[in-house]
Structure 1
């Protein structure tokens, strides 16, 4: 046996055929399909329906891609500091940098509303597969996509007539094998309560990101309000500031963003050969441009720090994915996984050959990749403009005829995000537009019709400067007038950013039409058949890819062996002081330094545990079997990045800040006695 085949076989043994015969700690399970019997056989205990219902009702989804949990009876929400960093930045002003210095509301009257933020909890999950699939019927290509979109809009509108307090979302699972209607109770007034200094949350910076040991105090508290009063949340998790115990079972409940474990080999090839290399190159350049632009300017550092953190985080994740798909043994393992599935369903006429259909769609995607990737510039202001132009067109249509994201069920959140007051940094907008327009010209070529549409006869630099300096869209009152005025107001507007958006929007629609006909339509049909193949081959042990919908995963607190050395399951405050150099990013926050003599330096700071998490699980509560929250998930280690594509927890671990660390911070570093009393209220 060759070494490559042997390594691939070992990989498959470790990964245990992802999305097939799931291992004990594998799976991002939906709440209506939790494998209780399987867990009980392996752990000797599993949660009952009452436990699951309590955990579900305490789980919070935040707009912006994070998770959270209710931890008091008065709407108090635990999440990560990096999940509220944008809020802190938006609420900051020159001379009052809340992101840098942290925030503590001594009384509830001091809690500040976060622009664009919404908190949502799942109240019900219902199967909508029959309705959606019936609507699609025998349609194909763009017609199938339109039929699916129309059916989803109809289902969501009928299920949630009250859009002020509820939100309905049909979630696509198994790539189209199932459609589930998730109903959410939503809270559109979310306020910041407590957050540590940014230096405390991001200690170690980019060098420590996706690594462990970690010493990040990445926790924060929000509060949900309604009608000006804190929301009553009796179904909350119990707070405990106890230490994590190695080997104890824990659950992570949250909204993992996206995994790609169900891709076929032609889709993995597209990722490896086309998507990821371009993404890595462009993200690297944007990072460099931003670092150079910030320089030593304190005001630009205040305005650009959170953006830079996000870019660096995405870039590191991209690099991890590139490494995974360029690992010969790992890639061979993916091929062997696909071969196993094909062998198990060979000759089944109901399934046919969906792999060939995917191959054809991916060939079409490669042909239009650059045009789709660079169809519009990046930036908050141009995003506002394009949304206003498109929303005006879509809102004039019947609900079932609109594009995804503009249905009646989706409009309230879109409107909130469009109209909430949010500070705009002109230099950052210009930089982002210049970068994205220059990349469009580079990858498409100066003579490409789309380059000419995007730039006209201007340079990326001149166009970005003219549009950003000339637009009034930073003013929410201007955006509201255009939103309320609809098509007539948008068509009459002479705002240069709106004029530009009107000019490029039709091309965006053209590309979407091609994509739906040649890629999304065929892929949707093929994914449905692939889901049937997996169910036929592996039964009910198949769990769906992540879709930023509510999931529960479980595993044990513990470290791992690396290079013959045991990595401990927890870090301590003492370790943070030992790791500190005094220079960024290893400079301890000033309040932590000042509190050293009062801290229990042997107390836990961060912890590692073997649960199946991904981006989107940031802020997810780490829960013990008694429904105590013992931490807030904020990261994976570097070995966990390949779990985007195939599950293997041999060395991969999730990472969270412990409630023990947060409690020390609440008592000593950033004192919040009222908050502590609330957390322990009976």
Structure 2
């Protein structure tokens, strides 16, 4: 719900060949699956019928995760950590669903997940020529406006029925391609089953991005429409059989963001600016939050979901810094760029986009701090900013609006703003005052943007005044402002709304500068870089991840770590052997109570060579027959460098097996109705 978005972004890549995907490497789009390469690697590849069925079963969750339909009645398999916010939003001090877990005995017990939407790709169309033609000879800010106007037009034309469909034009290869993805959407998503938090988070942060693992990171949602479960003819067949070593696996999901096609200057910006600032900020926020959570049991419960997300992100960014500071990797990436330049020189009209990127990144370095910090933090500020910008943008024609506020996007934005969810004032104050204090620190006390944000207030005083004075925690008030439009926003005396209005003009000014000096030039350079890549290595390339549907292939396999063989699987019994009695290695209560009924030999978690990244959480892991054998929930520690490349020797996807989920449904958190439903074909 931000007005603007930040940059998306170790013995790694030992066998890197610039621009050419090697065995098991690649997050491939469904309209460009590498059948010939997979046949060469595995002696077989899926046909179009197989791919179409799997694609129609895959689900994107708007909370940033992946999932899949696994029954004909709208049942969705995903990760526990992907539904943690739903559990959190439906919890109270007397009924802590996140801590205790949840089983809907009957479907009327299933609980709505605020802000959640399930989306299934129905078609993919190439609209590159339309977008490129609209851009024409324009540059800078004019280029971005022309591009965004054409994107808004295409999306509106593609989805006249916004109640059932969502259209999204996706930029691939940095502007080398544009694809229209049309989604069938389901805005009523409910929680059906989820284990207790400790079952999913056993091992906590120490085990995160590691293996062996003993985690039941799985949950079930259900999609509804018109108050009834959705009839999903296309769904994956549930297969509770254990995985076999070396069997072929596919991961189908929506990887969020990678930086594998970045130039050296872009990587330098990541290493020198964005990643160090982000890790420093998250480290301090983590400390502040832990201290506040120690103040009371209520704070401990209310802050847990936020803390889990912060710790996960912090580990990711630390891993990326380590990867980019590894001299072996840095050398390989430099060699890869030099190889691309050499192979593409003089081909297909490729000029010198690398110099253009260098200039754009240099300009962005001076804009980055205000562009990042002139905003707020926390749910209440997020509501205020979204309401203010949406009200302003809705007065304009669709083609003139900012991305994120066009007709194609507004239904989801409205849902996320108006859905009811709990708000905790102490947490809101902490988040907002933390952000304001760091903005003052990084921008400087005398900076005009600092003065705009703080005036004569301290971060703590301003945060407290805005949070205690706002009425935005009330969904009825948010609805009144949404329906009242710009007139209601401008008349509102709510301090958080007034504050968002105060910042909006400067945010627009910064966005215009970034578009003119960075985003516009980068879009032109991206088109040439894509042309260079295709000229050098051919058209069978996969683009960087964009939180759109991809498929990767691989196999069940362990790896060698420090000279020791890491097994490909763990068993349920390993949980009891690993438990120490102290968090985060304390046994889940249900495990402790039912130890004698749990089959200790059942495969719990396993690893594959599939190429994934954040956003793939909840992705179904599918065997050659097209049935689901697990849900991807993590990568190993080596995979953290996967943002910049893939090494099949050590990069691994970590999966919770359907065998373990089946055991849990039968013995640990009994759900006989779900067992019967999953058995249907």
Alignment TM class, shorter chain as reference = over 0.9
1:13-56 deviations in Å (ceiling 9; x for gaps): 51232xx2211201100001101121112211110000000000
Q: Structure 2 matches for 1:7-22, cutoff 5 A? A: 14-17=15-18, 20-22=19-21
Moved more, 29-38 or 96-105: 29-38
| Cα distance change of structure 1 residues 237 and 641 upon mapping to structure 2, 3 Å threshold | same
Q: Structure 2 matches for 1:596-615, cutoff 5 A? A: 596-615=595-614
Is the contact made by 1:142 and 1:516 (CA closer than 8 Å) also made in structure 2? Answer: yes
* TM-superposed deviation, 1:368: 1.1
Moved over 3 A (4+): 10-13
Residue in 2 aligned with 1:639?
A: 638
Any idea what SS the aligned residue of 1:502 has?
helix
Q: Structure 2 matches for 1:222-621, cutoff 5 A? A: 222-295=221-294, 297-348=296-347, 350-621=349-620
Any idea what SS the aligned residue of 2:338 has?
helix
Is the contact made by 2:12 and 2:645 (CA closer than 8 Å) also made in structure 1? Answer: no
Residue in 2 aligned with 1:5?
A: none
Does 1:78 find its partner at 2:80?
A: no
1:388-433 deviations in Å (ceiling 9; x for gaps): 1110110010000000000000000000000000111100000000
Any idea what SS the aligned residue of 1:55 has?
helix
Backbone CA RMSD of aligned residues: 1.0
* TM-superposed deviation, 1:348: 3.6
CA distance in 2 between counterparts of 1:221 and 1:496 reads 40
CA distance in 2 between counterparts of 1:557 and 1:90 reads 36
CA distance in 1 between counterparts of 2:651 and 2:250 reads 16
Any idea what SS the aligned residue of 1:547 has?
coil
Residue in 2 aligned with 1:667?
A: 666
Any idea what SS the aligned residue of 2:367 has?
helix
* TM-superposed deviation, 1:490: 0.3
* TM-superposed deviation, 1:588: 1.3
Residue in 1 aligned with 2:6?
A: none
1:247-272 deviations in Å (ceiling 9; x for gaps): 00100000000000000000000000
Any idea what SS the aligned residue of 1:29 has?
coil
CA distance in 2 between counterparts of 1:379 and 1:269 reads 30
Residue in 1 aligned with 2:25?
A: 26
CA distance in 2 between counterparts of 1:37 and 1:335 reads 29
Q: Any unmatched runs of 5+ in structure 1?
A: 1-7
1:533-574 deviations in Å (ceiling 9; x for gaps): 000001023110000000000101010011111100001111
TM, length-normalised to structure 2? 0.98
Is the contact made by 2:558 and 2:567 (CA closer than 8 Å) also made in structure 1? Answer: yes
1:98-152 deviations in Å (ceiling 9; x for gaps): 0000000011111111111000000000011010000001100000000000000
Residue in 2 aligned with 1:4?
A: none
Any idea what SS the aligned residue of 2:233 has?
coil
Is the contact made by 1:12 and 1:337 (CA closer than 8 Å) also made in structure 2? Answer: no
Residue in 1 aligned with 2:53?
A: 54
Any idea what SS the aligned residue of 1:433 has?
helix
| Cα distance change of structure 1 residues 314 and 603 upon mapping to structure 2, 3 Å threshold | same
Residue in 2 aligned with 1:101?
A: 100
Residue in 1 aligned with 2:7?
A: none
Is the contact made by 2:12 and 2:641 (CA closer than 8 Å) also made in structure 1? Answer: no
CA distance in 2 between counterparts of 1:429 and 1:615 reads 26
* TM-superposed deviation, 1:627: 1.0
CA distance in 2 between counterparts of 1:304 and 1:649 reads 37
Residue in 1 aligned with 2:40?
A: 41
1:648-667 deviations in Å (ceiling 9; x for gaps): 12111000100000000000
Is the contact made by 1:640 and 1:649 (CA closer than 8 Å) also made in structure 2? Answer: no
1:261-284 deviations in Å (ceiling 9; x for gaps): 000000000000111111110100
| Cα distance change of structure 1 residues 302 and 12 upon mapping to structure 2, 3 Å threshold | closer
Any idea what SS the aligned residue of 1:67 has?
strand
Any idea what SS the aligned residue of 1:14 has?
coil
Aligned residues, how many? 672
CA distance in 1 between counterparts of 2:621 and 2:41 reads 20
CA distance in 2 between counterparts of 1:242 and 1:134 reads 52
Residue in 2 aligned with 1:178?
A: 177
